[in-house]
Structures are given as C-alpha cells and as structure tokens.
Amino acid sequence: MDRRRWLLADQLGPHFLDDPDQPVLLVEIRELFRQRPVHRQKAHLILSALRHRAAELGDQALLLRADTFREALTRVAEPVEVSHPHSWAALRFAQSVPGLTVLPARGFITSQADFAGWADRARRGPLRMTDFYRHARRRHDVLTAPAGGTGPGRRARADNRAVPEAPPPPPPIVEDDIDAEVRRDLDRWAADGVRFVGRDGPRQHPATHTEAQARLAHFLTHRLPGYGRYADVMSGDDPLFAHSVLSSSFNLGLLDPEPAVRAAEQAWRAGTAPSTAVEPFIRGLLGWREFLWQLYWYFEPPFRGANWLAATESLPQWFAELDADAVEARCLADVLGAVRDRAWTHHTPRLLVLGNYALQRGWRPTEVADWFQRCFVDGTDWVMNATVIGMSQYADLARVDTRPYAVDGTDIDEISDYCAGCRYAPERALGDLACPYTGGFESFLHRNRDRLVADPRLAAELARRDDPEHREAVLAQEEKRGSTPP
C-alpha cells in the first residue's frame, strides 16, 4: 500500500513530494486559531494556501477538517509519512503518533547534519552567521568567481536621499472562489468568538507555487538590481522598495530556496544584476534563513527562555492590538499601520522601529517574539526565536549577534524619510520635541550599563552621555513615558 504524504501547512510546494502522483494528506484544524489571536490576513493566507494545494492535487489529495491532528490521522486508511516538521511542538507530536514516519527536513539547502558538524567545530567561540555563510558558499559552490573574474563584493550602505526609479508593480494577486470561501469561514469563526488582530483585506501574498514563482521571476528581473542599494531603506511612500516580499512563500514551502539562489546567481553571471545586489539577497537565503533554521534545532528548546537583559514589562495593549492611530511618532505609526494593514514589513522596520522600541522599553522578549509570530504572514517559531529573542531583543547572551539592535532617532533618520514631518526631532533626547527613540536609546544604555560596557561601540555611546544631570533627566523623562504610545 502506498504511503500517504502528509503535507503540513508550511510544506505546500512541489519539492515536498518525491512522486508527483503520490497520495497526499492535508489537514485543517480550526481550533489552532482559537489558541491565541492571529492576524486575520495570516489566517486567510494559511487556509487559502492549504485549500489551493488540495484543489491543485484533485483526487490525489485528502483534505480533512478535524478538531485535532490526532483525530484526523485516525481517519486515514493508508500508512502516513511526513517531512520533518518545522517546530519542536510539531516534531514531538509527529514522533508520538504510532506508525507515522518522519522523513528528513526539506525546504532548506544545508542539512542539519552538515550544520551540526560545522557548529561543533566552530564552538570554540560564538556561532556567527558570517562564518556559517562562508562555509555554506563553499559547501554548495555558490557565488564563486567566474573564470578571469572576481567574486561578489560588499554592498554600500544605502543613501535614503537617493530614490530609485519605481519598478513595475509585481504580478497582481487575483482572489478566486477559494479565497471567498476562506473569507466566509473566517467571518463565521469570528462571529463564533475566534479572535483575530489586524485588518482583513484582499489577499496580498502568494497562496500557490505558481503565484509565488511569478512574483520571484518579477523580482529577479525588476527589483533585484537595486536590492543591494535599497534593501535597508525605509519609506512611508514605498514599503517594498527593492524587496521581493516572498518570505511567506518560502516559509509556507511554496518556493524552494535553492533554485531561487541559483537564479539570483545566474542574474549576476549574466550581468543583469550587480554583485552588490545579488550577494546580499543570497546572503539572506543561504546565510540568514538557513542559519536561523539551524540554530533553532541546534539550541532549542532553552533558547525561548533567554532574557539576558532581564526585561520585565508586558506588551502594552495599543501595540498588541496594532493601534497605529494612537501613535504620533511617524516611523512607528507607519510601520505599526503596515503590520495592521498588510501583516508584513521588511527587515529594517522590524529591527529598527518595532524591535528597537520594544528593546528600549524593556518589554518581555517572549511576548515580543510571540507578537511577531502571530502578526506577520511569515511569522514562524524557528524564525522569531533567533531574530526577535536573539538579534532584536539581545536576550540570548549574543548567541546570534554581537550587539543589540538599539539605535536612536538620528540612525532612523539616516536611512528613512520618516523624520521629515514628524512632530519629534531625532537629535533631541530631552523636552517636548524629544524623539522617543533618542530618549529611549539613552535610557536603555543607562539602565543596562553594567551589561553593555563590554561592547566597544556601546561603551563609546555611554561615554558620550556621561553627564550626571542629563542622565538623570533622561531617565526620569523616559520612566514617565513608559510604554504609553509615543
């Protein structure tokens, strides 16, 4: 009897099947959405992607709706197998089901055994993404110098004053009867008491491999050439700039990262995109994405409990509920509004606007990570553990990065157009016009002085702010501000 391949909701691309005719199992569990409030557009995307995959496979697929996964599996006649799940909770469940075969992980370029071998050799010091990325490029022969040429170089820091010519818009997402059915179901669930956050709206992210592949092809042609220069830029006028907005497609398994890496590499070799654009894009897929996935399995489960800076404040309601209208600081209002309206922003607003503010205010890292996971269409446990708890909130003893992503308003001004027209002045730390990020940064430094002085950059920042009278005034001002919307 053929084994039925269970495709989890983040394993929906063709590369998760060995035989295109293999019988498939897909499972919907409504109760998962009752456990905690998820962004409405994220819930829609997950259900739409599952149902679209079932429709694509036709009679080959068995789509079950059940109260629990265990109950659904009892309704399957054939033996069932599943690719390695993408969370510890899902893996433990799969291992607890008698007769369920767990296959090796897919959807990543570096195997867990290869990473563990590299990490075990490298653990004389902290594991660093840059070191892993060099290993991965050699291991997979990516971006090696062409004959008579040189390898890719470093990208220059983006200049927020240099605005690129707008590329053509990506292929539109056209909703269909499946999306309409999903929206009716979510409306009914909400009426029955299932809570969502964020605004509903037309689906903005691919739900099929075909949609995702079309978006990837458009990015490689029209946006990749500017990626190196504009990837870090933030703008209230253009939330995409040079970005592909395909993180959810990779994390749902709609796209296989290895062909995407090879396609970007080919753009460099063909001369249609410069090395300073191709290298940072590939670094994101072959470097950061792989590194975060591997760290999750190498260090978990203790990672989630890390809180090195002893942050104890709860997430305020206005932030948890995506109430951008309560915020006057232009950057935070715009970025929080983007999460509310699109369930997505690119990496710079995540780190320097959202995560930076949470870090400065001392919000609990686990609550911040949970918020990111629930409110972003690409939010997953393995991504948010390392990027939020590690990089953003610096709660992991520098396991992921060497210093916290804490900056003041002048840094935000340097790479964005947000400070123009904002009621706050980015260079001011005190007074009515004081930027909440500038005052917050100074307060963060002083509160955590003993933990941060070992970092040369932060020690220098502290030395520049060592006037006792100024320090006490900033601390008093920011304690009064607390976690109220700025």
**What is the rounded end-to-end Cα distance, in angstroms, of the chain?**
62
Mean pLDDT of the chain: 87
Residue 128's pLDDT is 84
CA distances from 4 to 18, 25, 76, 77, 430 (A): 11, 6, 9, 9, 64
pLDDT at 417 over 80: yes
In the chain, where the domains are located: 4-103, 112-144+207-298, 317-481
Reported pTM: 0.90
pLDDT digits (tens, 9 = 90+) for 312-363: 788 999 999 999 999 999 999 999 999 999 999 988 899 899 999 998 998 9
pLDDT at 480 over 70: yes
Q: Please state which of the four CATH numbers 1.10.540.10, 1.25.40.80, 1.10.10.350, 3.30.750.24 is assigned to the domain occupying 112-144+207-298.
A: 1.25.40.80
pLDDT at 459 over 80: no
Strands (DSSP E) contained in 309-353 are: none
Distance CA 146, CA 482 (A): 55
Residue 91's pLDDT is 94
For residue 397 the two structure tokens come to 């003893």
Other C-beta atoms lying within 10 Å of the C-beta of residue 168: 9
Residue at 264: amino acid letter: A
Distance CA 377, CA 183 (A): 16
pLDDT digits (tens, 9 = 90+) for 365-374: 888 889 999 9
Do the beta carbons of residue 49 and residue 9 sit within 8 Å? yes
Q: Phi then psi for 323, rounded to 5 degrees?
A: -85, 75
Give the range among 177-191, 395-409, 416-430 with minimum mean pLDDT. 395-409
Distance CA 281, CA 143 (A): 12
For residue 301, is the peptide bond before it cis, meaning its omega torsion is within 30 degrees of 0? yes
Residue 156's pLDDT is 41
pLDDT digits (tens, 9 = 90+) for 111-141: 999 999 998 887 666 778 889 999 999 999 9
Distance CA 10, CA 346 (A): 20
pLDDT band (50, 70, 90) for residue 20: confident
Torsion 107-110-112-115 (CA) sign: negative
Torsion 400-405-411-415 (CA) sign: positive
- Three-state secondary structure readout of the chain: CCCEEECCCCCCCHHHCCCCCCCEEEEEEHHHHHCCCEEHHHHHHHHHHHHHHHHHHHHHEEEEEECCHHHHHHCCCCCEEEECCCCHHHHHHHHHCCCCEEECCCCCCCCHHHHHHHHHHHCCCCCCHHHHHHHHHHHHCCCCCCCCCCCCCCCCCCCCCCCCCCCCCCCCCCCCHHHHHHHHHHHHHHHCCCCEECCCCCCCCCCCHHHHHHHHHHHHHHHHHHHHHHCCCECCCCCCCCCCCCHHHHHCCCCCHHHHHHHHHHHHHHCCCCHHHHHHHHHHHHHHHHHHHHHHHHHCCHHHHCCCCCCCECCCHHHHCCCHHHCCCHHHHHHHHHHHHHCCCCHHHHHHHHHHHHHHHCECHHHHHHHHHHHCCCCCHHHHHHHHHHHHCCCCCCCCCCCCCCCCHHHHHHCECCCCCCCCECCCCCCCCECHHHHHHHHHHHHCHHHHCCCHHHHHHHHHCCCHHHHHHHHHHHHHHCCCCC
The residue with tokens 């792989």 is: 290
Residue 173's pLDDT is 94
Torsion 277-278-281-286 (CA) sign: negative
Largest CA distance in the chain: 78
pLDDT band (50, 70, 90) for residue 302: low
CA angle 412, 417, 419 (to 5 degrees): 60
Do 4-103 and 112-144+207-298 have matching folds?
no
Residue 149's pLDDT is 43
pLDDT at 145 over 80: no
Q: Please state which of the four CATH numbers 4.10.410.60, 3.30.1360.30, 3.40.50.620, 3.40.50.720 is assigned to the domain occupying 4-103.
A: 3.40.50.620
For residue 94 the two structure tokens come to 């799969």
Span 275-280, mean pLDDT?
94
Residue 148's pLDDT is 38
What percent of the chain is predicted at pLDDT more than 70? 89
What percent of the chain is predicted at pLDDT more than 90? 63
pLDDT at 162 over 60: no
Distance CA 442, CA 457 (A): 14
Which residue in 293, 256, 310, 311 sits closest to 386, CA to CA? 293
pLDDT band (50, 70, 90) for residue 147: very low
CA distances from 196 to 46, 228, 317, 354 (A): 14, 36, 14, 20
Distance CA 373, CA 368 (A): 9
pLDDT at 161 over 70: no
| Burial class, 205, CB count within 10 angstroms (exposed 0-12 / middle 13-18 / buried 19+) | buried
pLDDT band (50, 70, 90) for residue 364: confident
3-state secondary structure of 16: helix
pLDDT at 398 over 60: no
pLDDT digits (tens, 9 = 90+) for 26-83: 999 988 898 889 999 999 999 999 999 999 999 999 999 999 999 999 999 999 999 9
Distance of CA 137 to the CA centre of its chain: 22
pLDDT digits (tens, 9 = 90+) for 188-243: 999 999 999 999 999 999 999 999 999 999 999 999 998 878 778 888 777 777 78
**Which class does domain 317-481 fall in?**
mainly alpha
HSE at residue 39, side-chain half, CA atoms within 13 A, is: 30
